[in-house]
Amino acid sequence: MSANHKDTLFAQPHQGLKSFCFDEQVASVFPDMIERSVPSYGETLKGITELTRAFVRPNTRLYDLGCSLGAATLAMRRAVEDKPCNIIAVDNSTAMLAKAKDYLGNYHSSHQVEFVLDDMLKIDITNASVVVLNFTLQFIAPEQRITMLERIYDGLIPGGVLILSEKLINPQTQIQTQLETMHLQFKRNNGYSELEISQKRASLENVLISDSRETHLNRLKTVGFSAADSWLQHFQFASFLAIK
Ligand SMILES: C[S@@+](CC[C@H](N)C(=O)[O-])C[C@H]1O[C@@H](n2cnc3c(N)ncnc32)[C@H](O)[C@@H]1O
Ligand SMILES: O=C(O)C(=O)C[C@]1(C(=O)O)C=C[C@@H](O)C=C1
């Protein structure tokens, strides 16, 4: 990702802090923000490449739902190589999708990505071998998450996979507190001030709603996936692989 502007969005005190949203301001600093906020974000992307390499099938579709600037789209595209496949990158933020088109346009590849500006709950998912939800399900209303996963499951070919990365909540209070403390230190180590950390946390309240590992695995099982487990966890950030 180029044009990496430093995230200083929460550096000054905000009166009447507004809820976090993926607008132009966030889009313009997003690569820096996510890299400094999500532990092992780079490893997650590398894993998406490896898992795509393992599960992609010729003449199928690959979906990146909530693609932001297209980092996971790019991770998938690396793995597709010269296979005849279509990659569909979806986001409902105009600012994000415009920038994703710019970034991905700068990388040369025979594989064209189709960009779709829409609610991921509304798009058709068909003939898919790989679907990625990289830190996006947590922004969907909790009561709609099962519907989203059902749509994905129905759109996958047999043996197709969902790669689902999320910020988790741990039901054991002591563990949750310790993981939060470690994540806080991770942010400090990456240069965020106490003010930046606390203002961002407040603005994400009721916007990013985390589920537990158990809730995720039970939901994947309920939807019908034949196998599902996490392949990565760093503090309370995890990524799951679910196989149809
Ligand atoms: C944390 S970012 C995802 C990061 C990205 N997947 C990556 O790997 O860099 C969440 C994204 O989901 C998008 N989003 C949230 N709700 C959505 C919805 N209902 N439909 C489509 N996109 C959505 C946001 O606009 C935002 O760009
Ligand atoms: O938990 C946090 O503090 C985060 O910043 C997490 C998170 C995410 O998981 O999506 C939230 C918003 C931004 O998109 C980048 C990272």
Within-domain flag for 54: yes
pLDDT in tens, 116-140: 999 999 999 999 999 999 999 999 9
Binding residues for S-adenosyl-L-methionine: 41, 66-68, 91-92, 134, 201
Instruction: Name the closest ligand to CA 38.
Output: 2
Within-domain flag for 200: no
pLDDT in tens, 95-108: 999 999 988 876 65
- Containing structural domain, residue 61: 41-169+208-243
**Residue 109 pLDDT > 70:** no
Within-domain flag for 21: no
Instruction: Name the closest ligand to CA 133.
Output: 1
- Evaluated on CA atoms 12, 15, 20, 24, the torsion sign reads negative
Within-domain flag for 36: no
pLDDT in tens, 66-92: 999 999 999 999 999 889 999 999 999
Which residues sit opposite 89 in a β-bridge?
64, 115
CATH number of 53's domain: 3.40.50.150
The structure's pTM equals: 0.97
The pLDDT confidence band at residue 2, using thresholds 50, 70 and 90, is very low
Give the whole-angstrom CA distance, residue 113 versus residue 89. Answer: 7
Give the whole-angstrom CA distance, residue 163 versus residue 236. Answer: 17
Select the more confidently predicted residue: 238 or 107.
238
- Write down the ipTM of this complex: 0.97
Instruction: State the total domains in the chain.
Output: 1
DSSP state of 46: H
Cβ-Cβ contacts under 8 Å for 90 (sequence gap 6 or more) = 63, 64, 65, 66, 67, 115, 116, 118, 120, 123
Q: Mean per-residue pLDDT for 186-205?
A: 96
The CA 147 to ligand 1 mean position distance, Å, reads 17
